[in-house]
């Protein structure tokens, strides 16, 4: 197992990445390309408007031109969205009816690994996915439920099996596990970093090397399943920058909410940098280890060991790598814990 870099350039905590056969297939992103773009500003506007509308919206997304589109249920809300600089779109189904559908799915299939769902704001439908592990009577039950709900449901198959991405290995190490450092944060005057909760559940003391000689910090809080985040108290302060795996780093200065259609990037200790788009928010995922809700679903690839690594857009922190299916050779689907939730839970700020 090769020594890997933590997800962030963290001053004296930075670990040099040893070249391996995966290096040639990593996505690359220059510092200029990773900087703020009109799309990231559009995403921030869409997130602010959906938060303001609350239960009166089914969500928002960026269209093919990068414009923020916000779903609404009234002419007054449409006028407010338009005045704010976004495109309003009347929902085909009420947010309340879509919430009832997702609540029914939670009651019926929360114990079925390999399934999940999320509201698609562009179509006002609920997308339900199943992976290769769902078959026989379980698949028949999912299909019967989808048929009862009619056109409000869209069924999607995900190749492979949904899994969390932790494994025994390298990059941030502890108790035989390897994960990736997410974002450096501060709580008051104290330094911490975030990683995945399924990593924090397994590891108390983290080091930057497999031999355990370079101590990084100790897990103080961890939440998984339900959520997937952990807080680690740092031995030394780290810089708020993401390793782009091309000799450069992207400064992270703020945290925000992901929006459907947004272009995003992920950094991780197994596969380096990868890019893709957000395809759902507030997604529910039934991993074999348990159910996680409120997730960001993306087309970004990831592999075991990338868990906990940062999802970002420009200088904005968005999420922590949780799990998914596929790999970075053939592609796949990856889910992320929104970073705003642990920041709020811990009273933390990105460094």
Out of 12-21, 236-245, 257-266, 292-301, pick the least confident.
12-21
Return the residue matching tokens 């309003």. 88
Q: How confident is the model at residue 345 (pLDDT cuts 50, 70, 90)?
A: very high
- Report the range out of 44-58, 165-179, 204-218 with the highest average pLDDT: 44-58
Out of 5-19, 191-205, 286-300, 327-341, pick the least confident.
5-19
pLDDT tens for 121-160 read 999 999 999 999 999 999 999 999 999 999 999 999 999 9
DSSP of 15-40: -PPPP-GGGGG-----TTTTS--HHH
Locate the domains of the chain by residue range: 23-351
The pLDDT of residue 39: 62
The pLDDT of residue 40: 64
* Alpha carbon distance 167, 17 (integer Å): 18
| Cα dihedral across residues 181, 182, 184, 188: positive or negative | negative
∠ CA 27-227-144, rounded to 5° = 90
Q: How confident is the model at residue 269 (pLDDT cuts 50, 70, 90)?
A: very high
Q: Please answer whether residues 153 and 146 qualify as being in contact, where contact means their C-beta atoms are separated by less than 8 angstroms.
A: yes
* Alpha carbon distance 247, 147 (integer Å): 51
Q: How many CA atoms lie within 13 A of 61 on its CB side?
A: 23
* Residue closest to 121 by CA, chosen among 51, 50, 67: 50
Annotated active-site positions, please? Answer: 198, 228, 307
How many CB atoms neighbour CB 97 within 10 A? 14
DSSP of 277-302: EEEEEEEEEEETTEEEEEEEEES---
- What's the chain's average pLDDT? 86
pLDDT tens for 13-57 read 212 222 333 333 333 333 333 334 456 688 889 999 999 999 999
Q: Please answer whether residues 43 and 259 qualify as being in contact, where contact means their C-beta atoms are separated by less than 8 angstroms.
A: yes
Percent of all residues in the chain with a pLDDT value above 70, rounded to a whole number? 87
pTM: 0.82
pLDDT at 78 over 70: yes
pLDDT tens for 176-194 read 889 999 999 999 999 999 9
> How many helices (DSSP H) and strands (DSSP E) are in the chain?
6, 24
| Cα dihedral across residues 174, 180, 186, 191: positive or negative | positive
The pLDDT of residue 10: 26
The two three-digit tokens of residue 223, written as one number: 């939440």
∠ CA 306-309-313, rounded to 5° = 125
For the chain, give percent helix, strand, coil, nearest 5: 25, 40, 40
């Amino acid at each position: 197992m090769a020594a890997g870099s933590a997800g962030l350039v963290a001053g004296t905590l930075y670990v040099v990445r040893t070249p391996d056969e995966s290096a040639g297939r990593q996505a690359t992103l220059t510092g200029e390309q990773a900087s703020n773009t009109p799309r990231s500003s559009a995403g921030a506007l869409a997130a602010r408007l959906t938060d303001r509308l609350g239960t009166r919206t089914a969500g928002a997304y960026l269209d093919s031109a990068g414009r923020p589109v916000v779903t609404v249920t009234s002419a007054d809300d449409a006028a407010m969205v338009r005045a704010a600089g976004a495109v309003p779109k009347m929902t085909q189904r009420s947010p309340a009816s879509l919430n009832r559908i997702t609540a029914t799915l939670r009651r019926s299939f929360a114990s079925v690994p390999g399934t999940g769902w999320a509201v698609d704001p562009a179509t006002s439908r609920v997308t339900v996915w199943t992976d290769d592990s769902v078959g026989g009577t379980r698949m028949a039950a999912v299909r019967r439920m989808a048929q009862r709900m009619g056109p409000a449901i869209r069924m999607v198959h995900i190749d492979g099996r949904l899994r969390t991405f932790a494994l025994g290995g390298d990059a941030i190490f502890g108790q035989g596990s390897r994960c990736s450092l997410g974002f450096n944060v501060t709580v008051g005057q104290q330094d911490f970093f975030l990683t995945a909760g399924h990593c924090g559940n397994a590891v108390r003391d983290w080091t930057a090397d497999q031999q355990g000689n370079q101590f990084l910090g100790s897990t103080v809080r961890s939440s998984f399943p339900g959520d997937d985040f952990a807080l680690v108290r740092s031995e030394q302060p780290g810089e708020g920058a993401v390793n782009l795996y091309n000799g450069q780093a992207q400064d992270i200065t703020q945290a925000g909410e992901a929006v459907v259609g947004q272009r995003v990037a992920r950094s991780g200790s197994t596969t380096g940098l990868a890019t893709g788009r957000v395809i759902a928010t507030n997604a529910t995922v039934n991993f074999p280890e348990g159910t996680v809700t409120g997730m960001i679903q993306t087309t970004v690839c990831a592999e075991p060991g990338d868990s906990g690594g940062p999802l970002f857009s420009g200088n904005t922190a968005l999420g922590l790598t949780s799990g998914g299916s596929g790999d970075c050779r053939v592609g796949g689907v990856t889910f992320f814990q929104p970073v705003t939730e642990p920041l709020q839970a811990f009273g933390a700020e990105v460094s």
